[in-house]
Amino acid sequence: MIQVLEDFKTGMGYPVTGEVGSMEDWIKVLTEMQDGFKAHIEMANFAHPSSSPEYVELDKKFRRGMELFTEYYGTLWD
């Protein structure tokens, strides 16, 4: 999914809804989605997640990325 989202950054269009009003905005949203997927991968490396501030930060990135992915899922086209 990370690479698919990267490919959308060079696409010909973007949705004009929510936080997106330009290609620049769309790239920022796609990057946050990617960061969420990357965070999820990194979260698997923690043996005791609840005691780690790093884990908490990764969890925030993951949740934000998934929020955006859910919001824009229907507009992921090129």
Across 38-55, average pLDDT: 85
> Using a CB cutoff of 8 Å and minimum separation of 24, what contacts does 67-71 make?
68/29, 68/32, 68/33, 68/36, 69/33, 69/36, 71/18
- Whether the per-residue pLDDT at 42 is higher than 70: the answer is yes
Domain ranges of the chain: 2-10+21-75
- Rounded (5°) CA angle 68-56-45: 95
Q: What is the dihedral of CA 34, 38, 43, 44, to 10 degrees?
A: 130
What predicted TM-score, i.e. pTM, was given to this entire model?
0.90
**pLDDT grade for 35, boundaries at 50, 70 and 90:** very high
